[in-house]
Structure 1
Amino acid sequence: MGRPYLLCMARPRSFDRDHVLHAAERQFRTTGYNGTSVDDISAATGLGRGSLYAAFDGKHGVLLQAMAGYSIRLGQFVPEALAGPDEGALERLRGFLLRAVEGVPLAADVPPAPDRAAAACFAAKMALEIGASDSEVERLANDCFSLVATAVAECVRAAQRNGDIDPDADPDDLAYLLLTIVRGVDVVGASGHSPARLTSIAESAFALLPRPRHR
């Protein structure tokens, strides 16, 4: 007798799916996956527990959908930030590194991250916390890393065509070097180091890019 009632109660009301996922992402960024309860997500999104379970099948489903949405956003703004004429490619790479000092922006329809730790890459944050024991999270995180690395590698190739980076250097290796440093900046930033220190790390990473050898 109780089952039809529960199903009725679980039917989700109309809601803005993207906004719910953006708000949930912010909550996961702030308190981590293990530190976030369904009630926390409900409070952050304004969606009741029953609606959350009906629409996303619980906390883990919300996380996976939020990570998928994050990957889509990442796949838009990173290539856009690095795209352009060959002659400006080297400076765009520098800008990419310097923007890492501020972290990865949240969606525009939710409040800014409360601190530098919450501004860290969402995919990296979840991968570090639960990726080793959650293959779906690991896969989504690697998808995000590949998106960024591909865009960075294309920008490296543009800089090589313009004569600003050693043409013998491997663009994919350099892309993953920069990606690793950028994600390391997230960790250092979350540990309370100053913006000046993070900027210095970014500039040092930029200096590592191999310039053309004089012949």
Structure 2
Amino acid sequence: MARPRSFDRDHVLHAAERQFRASGYNGTSVDDISAATGLGRGSLYGAFDGKHGVLLEAMSGYFARLGQFAPKALAGPDESALERLHAYLLRAVHGVPLAPDLPPVPDRAGAACFAAKMALEIGASDPEVKRLASECFSVVRVAVAECVRVAQRNGDIDPDADPDDLAYLLLTIIRGSDVVGAYGHSPDRLTSIAESAFALLPRPRHT
């Protein structure tokens, strides 16, 4: 009979995610993951098949959290859709927490999109990382575009604007803020970026 796992898998994957965020994939060794998670090398290989397996599971967990958090944060009544979009944008430019019920990470660079960070580092040579990163982006894009459609239905955004184009615009600004934040710019600067992006949303034409 196989022995039951003697560790909290989610805790291990969150710890590994923090390590990958801090050091990148290539800068993280199996020993680093072992130190961060408290699991020995043998346990890591046995449970996850090594460093790459840990990364893929950590990214899958991150995708699952995004899939719950983004739609929930952006869903609601028509009359408050624009307000929800504004609040989501403000929160997003200040970093994505490791889990929806945790506060933002104090280090802005460490709170950048995990999937995007891994995609930029190794996505070009790693199809699985590229696929997971694309799925992470898509789940947020769909939620943002749907919130835009609801705001259009309520008369708060120009009905002729393409919701998908606006979603891409906002997410490009959010991901760009990861770079700006990584260079140490202040929270006030990031808030200003978010407000400027929000102001770009086309409002209905009144005749």
Are the aligned partners of 1:157 and 1:171 in contact in 2 as well (CA < 8 Å)? yes
Which residue number corresponds to residue 146 of structure 1?
A: 138
Alignment match of 1:85 (pick from 77, 80, 90): 77
Alignment match of 1:38 (pick from 7, 30, 38): 30
TM-score (normalised: structure 1): 0.91
Alignment match of 2:149 (pick from 146, 157, 161): 157
Q: Secondary structure at the match of 1:50?
A: helix
| CA displacement 1:8-38 (0-9 Å, x = unmatched) | xxx8852111111111111111111111111
Q: How far apart, CA to CA, are the structure 2 residues paired with 1:109 and 1:12?
A: 28
Larger displacement relative to structure 2 (106-115 or 157-166): 106-115
Which is greater in Rg?
A: 1
Which residue number corresponds to residue 199 of structure 2?
A: 207
Q: CA deviation at 1:110?
A: 8.8
Q: How far apart, CA to CA, are the structure 1 residues paired with 2:150 and 2:101?
A: 34
Q: CA deviation at 1:133?
A: 1.3
TM-score (normalised: structure 2): 0.94
Is the counterpart of residue 24 in structure 1 residue 24 in structure 2? no
Which residues of 2 match residues 120-199 of structure 1 at below 5 A? 120-199=112-191
Is the counterpart of residue 75 in structure 1 residue 45 in structure 2? no
Q: What are the ranges of 5 or more consecutive residues in structure 1 without an aligned counterpart? A: 1-10
Are the aligned partners of 1:22 and 1:109 in contact in 2 as well (CA < 8 Å)? no
Q: How far apart, CA to CA, are the structure 1 residues paired with 2:103 and 2:78?
A: 36
Tell me the C-alpha RMSD between the 2 structures: 1.8
Are the aligned partners of 1:26 and 1:113 in contact in 2 as well (CA < 8 Å)? no
Q: Secondary structure at the match of 2:119?
A: helix
Q: Secondary structure at the match of 1:66?
A: helix
Identical columns (%):
85
Are the aligned partners of 1:30 and 1:113 in contact in 2 as well (CA < 8 Å)? no
Alignment match of 1:105 (pick from 90, 97, 102): 97
Which residue number corresponds to residue 4 of structure 1?
A: none
